[in-house]
Structure 1
Amino acid sequence: MRPGQRSAAQRVRRYVVQIPYFVVLLGLLVAAVLVLFDRWRRGAFVFGSVLLLGAVLRAFIPTSRVGLLQVRSKFFDVAVMASVGSLILWLATSIDPLGTD
């Protein structure tokens, strides 16, 4: 294998391992847009769901391929994302809408 090919494969791998991170980031962007358009309950629900998705992705994807979803240890990352995601989902579903959506 020539050196140029190896570096191209490494460049592609650098972007491919970031796909889980970009999926979570895209979901958070959708949640922010919903909140900006005064759909705070839907936005909060999407936000909490995306955090739970991030926790699942971090739990099942090997550390060598998780990319920027890795902040600390696997246990810490999964515990924090799952806890915050569950709390936000609980808040989004339990607060009385008071005529709003």
Structure 2
Amino acid sequence: MPSLDNPHDAGVPPSPLPMWAQRALLGVFLAGFFLSGVYAATEHWRRATFTLGAALLWLAGLRWACDSQVIGLFAVRSRRFDAAFCTVIGLGMMVLAWSVDSLGS
């Protein structure tokens, strides 16, 4: 059976957070992700974009605080790359959603 460890995180110390706390923090991210999907499905595009951007910023923090085994598929590269990527994309989405005119909605 192949190892599920992220090879980019070799030598990174384990998270000081207990496993239940790491999973709870991941649950907050997943709730934000699904909430953005609900907003998109109900045609609230600015809210959906802003919420997804905020969820990505949360994920950037999770990438630093949690173990790769807990993060799972969201641990793609090294912690530094993943956190930087999520921060840039999340901030970009939030700024874009904030800067678009609401057109009276």
Cα RMSD over matched residues? 2.6
Give the number of aligned pairs.
88
Task: Give the TM-score taking structure 1 as reference length.
Answer: 0.71
What is residue 77 of structure 1 aligned with on the other side? 82
**Percent identity for Structure 1 against Structure 2:** 33
Structure 2 residue runs without a partner (length 5+)? 1-18
* Structure (1/2) with the larger helix percentage: 1
What is residue 45 of structure 1 aligned with on the other side? 50
Q: Distance in 1 between matches of 2:69 and 2:45?
A: 36
Q: What does 1:7-22 correspond to in 2, within 5 Å?
A: 18-22=23-27
Q: Distance in 2 between matches of 1:19 and 1:33?
A: 21
Higher relative contact order (CA 8 A, sep 6+): 2
Partner of 1:55, secondary structure, is: helix
> Which has the greater radius of gyration?
1
Select which of 35, 41, 55 maps to 1:36. 41
Select which of 61, 65, 68 maps to 1:60. 65
Task: Give the TM-score taking structure 2 as reference length.
Answer: 0.68
1:49 CA drift (Å): 0.5
1:57 CA drift (Å): 1.2
Structure 1 residue runs without a partner (length 5+)? 1-13
